[in-house]
Amino acid sequence: MRTQVAIIGAGPSGLLLGQLLYKAGIDNIIFERQSADYVLGRIRAGILEEVTVALLNEAGVGERVQRDGVVHHSIELVFAGARHPIDVHGLTAGKVVTAYGQTELTRDLMEARAAAGLTTIYEAGNVVPQGFDGEQPFVTWTIDGATHRMDCDFIAGCDGFHGVSRATVKDRVREFERVYPFGWLGVLSDTPPVSPHAIVYGNSERGFSLCSMRSLTRSRYYVQCPLDDKVEDWSDARFWDELRRRLDPALAEAIVTGPSIEKSIAPLRSFVAEPMRFGRMFLAGDAAHIVPPTGAKGLNLAATDVKYLSTALISYFKDSTNEGIDSYSGKCLSRIWKAERFSWWLTSLMHRFPDTAGFGQRMQDAELDYLVHSRAASTVLAENYVGLPL
Ligand code: RFL
Ligand code: PHB
């Protein structure tokens, strides 16, 4: 069996890459460890940059995000019990972000892939990328105890932070990492979002909070929590009470509560693996980097890696040039480190750290006050939030 590009992982990176390559007439097969339902059951990102929406359009899957996505012109910061809108649109000469869940985006891509008759091998066991240092890479996998082999021209490692692709080259990778001393407890609920047209980021004495949404009838909220907390410790009532206590009185009053339909705790991490190319294998998305979710960069970074990778592979196959694949890693990393810096900074600014007392807390207070009163400082936040240019 043979394909041009073997893609490992059917998350947003792998599915989007497959779709962009297909549009350009390049054959590809995706190997996914989990079932399609399992992939769709993971509740993750919710905010798309304009470059990500443009890429979905380019891939031919932009119809639903255009129709159902909710455009946001601003964000709000809440601290010291007061709300401070940041006019992201005005500060960036007209840029916006769109609220549209990763689950929906993944569903759109899966449906387009099925409609195009492209192959995705779900529940593929023991997927192993091989031979990529030479001219004839291949992937092996098992199904029902039998091992299979797919020959290819290139392998795309789109298999997330715990995937096999980066693990295969772990001796050749330089890793940079920061782990944060808290997690996010997230709740999804079928209630109207308290702030339908601006994501709210809160810093209070009790810790960070975030009011987000998936649609005008489905909200997504988070509170900072200790890493050793268990989801079972958090009844719905305790969650809503804690969220209210971290917001300003008007927002707290306006929150519509209801039963949670999903509740989970995620750790926060910054991570970058360098480089992102190993002969004929490339890493893309969470396989190569993780950002803490403050600032909503994870999914958007994955999309821009895929933009660079698809462009590089298309020019290799169509124009017989290596230039794109040779510059892939450097181009991605330059953008990734800027998003890493922004996510780390916003995380540091908006959370309560166990070891930050006295002086450190005054620094955070002063920076927040400066941020919302200085047009220059607000502009730095806004232009990073909407996403730096490609
Ligand atoms: P994904 O989505 O992790 O998909 C990788 C896919 O590869 C499969 N896989 C394998 N397949 C075959 N063989 C193997 N050995 C394999 N190992 C793994 C996996 O099953 C999976 O289907 O990576 P991708 O495509 O790069 O997409 C990246 C985004 O998912 C990610 O950046 C964001 O979701 C990050 N993220 C968030 N980003 C935001 O912008 N805002 C958020 O609110 C937000 N919340 C989150 C998040 C990531 C989380 N994770 C990873 C724990 C919340 C969580 C819980
Ligand atoms: C989300 O909607 O899940 C979300 C929004 C903004 C963030 C992180 C997560 O910064």
CB of 12 shorter than 6 A to ligand 1:
yes
Is 26 contained in some domain? yes
Alpha-carbon separation of residue 258 from 187, 221, 270, 338 (angstroms): 10, 12, 33, 38
Is 223 contained in some domain? no
Domain limits for position 124: 5-47+101-177+269-346
Catalytic-labelled residue, pool 22, 100, 180, 201 = 201
CB of 183 shorter than 6 A to ligand 1:
no
State yes or no: pLDDT of 291 exceeds 90: yes
Alpha-carbon separation of residue 350 from 100, 184, 274, 368 (angstroms): 23, 12, 28, 9
User: pTM (2 decimals)?
Assistant: 0.97
**Total domains present in the chain:** 1
Is 69 contained in some domain? no
d(CA 68, CA 372): 31
pLDDT band for position 356 (50/70/90)?
Answer: confident
Atom 44 in ligand 1: which residue has the minimum CA distance?
45
d(CA 86, CA 158): 34
Is 41 contained in some domain? yes
Please, are residues 336 and 301 in contact by the beta-carbon 8 Å criterion?
Answer: yes
Give CA torsion, residues 73, 79, 82, 85, to 10 deg. Answer: -10
- The helix/strand/coil state of 183 is strand
Is position 89 annotated as part of the catalytic site? no
Rounded distance from Cα 48 to ligand 2 centre (Å): 10
Note the pLDDT of residue 134. 97
Is position 297 annotated as part of the catalytic site? yes
Per-residue pLDDT of 261-281, as tens digits, reads 999 999 999 999 999 999 999
Mean pLDDT on 284-309: 98
List, in order, residues 6 or more apart from 56 with CB less than 8 Å away.
Answer: 16, 48, 62, 65, 105, 108
Is 59 contained in some domain? no
From the CA of 268, the nearest ligand is 1
Note the pLDDT of residue 172. 97
Note the pLDDT of residue 43. 85
CATH of the domain at 145: 3.50.50.60
Quote the mean pLDDT of the chain. 97
**Vertex 293: Cα angle to 248 and 302 (nearest 5):** 145
Is 91 contained in some domain? no
Note the pLDDT of residue 45. 87
d(CA 83, CA 78): 4
d(CA 139, CA 151): 7
Is 275 contained in some domain? yes
CB of 347 shorter than 6 A to ligand 2:
no
DSSP structural state of residue 257: P
CB of 10 shorter than 6 A to ligand 1:
yes
Is 156 contained in some domain? yes
Mean pLDDT on 175-199: 97
Is position 38 annotated as part of the catalytic site? no
Per-residue pLDDT of 47-80, as tens digits, reads 999 999 999 999 999 999 999 999 999 999 999 9
